[in-house]
Amino acid sequence: MRLGEPRRFIQVVAGARQVGKTTLVQQVMGEIKTPVHFASADEPAIRGDTWIAQQWETARIRAEKGDALLVLDEVQKISGWPETVKRLWDEDTRARRRLKVVLLGSAPLLMQRGMTESLAGRFEVIHLPHWTAAEMAEAFGWTIDEYIFFGGYPGSAPLVSDPSRWSSYVRDALIETSISRDVLLLTRIDKPALLRRLFEIGCQYSGQILSYTKILGQLQDAGNTTTLAHYLDLLEVSGLLAGLKKFAGETVRQRGSSPKFQVFNNALISAQSGYTLEAARKTPAYWGRLVESAVGAHLVNAAAARLCDVYYWRDGGKEVDFIVRTKRRLVAIEVKSGRTRDAQPGMARFNTSFHPDRMLLVGGDGIPVEEFLQQPVEHWID
């Protein structure tokens, strides 16, 4: 964590809901010696940008004798926050004040829009992904099976002994809050029922490739492929559901190509499935899908942190589950999860066509799933 470094950038702690942004920053605040002023906009009575100016001035007073740190939580709830932050930050820059600023927000879409439109060149993003298998094991003693089923939301961990309460928490406090507050209230959505149903289908088919035509065939509220692609982009920015594109080497990929659904956290699947962990383990086909989705979630969280790009590849009946690309490396990953596939593994054909730097088999007689999930993605790329 770099919150205490003397940088002339606004540091934005970004990530999906309930991944521990506020908790982590508060822990760092308790360890550094720099004077800190922390304020949260998560109060019903707070209105307008005057609140930001007041908190900023309080932090400026603490910076009169040296470095100081201002932390603003839930800043996206203040109307016009990007312009106010830009004005105050530029004033401090001209006055050479030694005030460092950290912004936290639980609406990734709105935070991203505000940064790119008003704060260009002034911010540095510290991305917090969903918790990994290693982190859940260290914090809660979870086994790999528990992680594959329950995912990586730390706030849900105390509830796993009561499956009904756990499922309700994920559906109500995480899924519904993210969709209603982070997407529907912040962006013009002409067909909210269509977006919700797209999310449900995406979770149901996580790890599978579906054409937009087939997706539309399962939706009662008809839309078009452009609308679906846009809604899928919004769900991805919110840290819920990604639509992986087909890898095509240096060829420009078409936006309308069939996406491969991939959740960012397996909890989003399990909470809506009706399965318990025990029942899921006894259903090989379903468990195999969860295993593959857990591997995919590990990869897309790394992609969200801009460590790599993640795709799938398919040519005729041949398929490679995941293609991971950085500027220097190309890695093909096949997951042997035990689920029945329509397409056959296509490592040999992909190798002939694109000559990847590494070809990895996860599961079966390859890299154990637990070992793969315990290591950061960079370990497997490099």
Domains in the chain with CATH codes: 10-127 (3.40.50.300), 133-381 (no CATH)
Residue whose token pair is 């290591």? 375
Tens of pLDDT, residues 11-57: 888 777 888 888 888 888 888 888 999 998 876 566 677 899 999 99
Using CA atoms, how far apart are residues 55 and 69, in angstroms rounded to an integer?
11
What predicted TM-score, i.e. pTM, was given to this entire model?
0.85
Looking at residue 222, its pLDDT comes to 59
Q: How far, in Å, CA of 17 to CA of 74, rounded? A: 11
Residue 212 has pLDDT above 80, yes or no: no
Mean pLDDT to the nearest integer, 105-124: 72
β-pairing verdict for 99-104 and 358-362: unpaired
Helix ranges (DSSP H) in the chain: 21-31, 50-62, 81-95, 108-118, 133-140, 144-150, 163-169, 177, 192-204, 212-217, 225-237, 267-273, 277-281, 284-304, 347-354, 369-374, 377-381
Provide the CB-side half-sphere exposure for 366 (13 A, CA): 12
Burial class (CB in 10 A: 0-12, 13-18, 19+), 10: buried
Pick from 14-28, 222-236, 257-271 the range whose average pLDDT is largest.
257-271
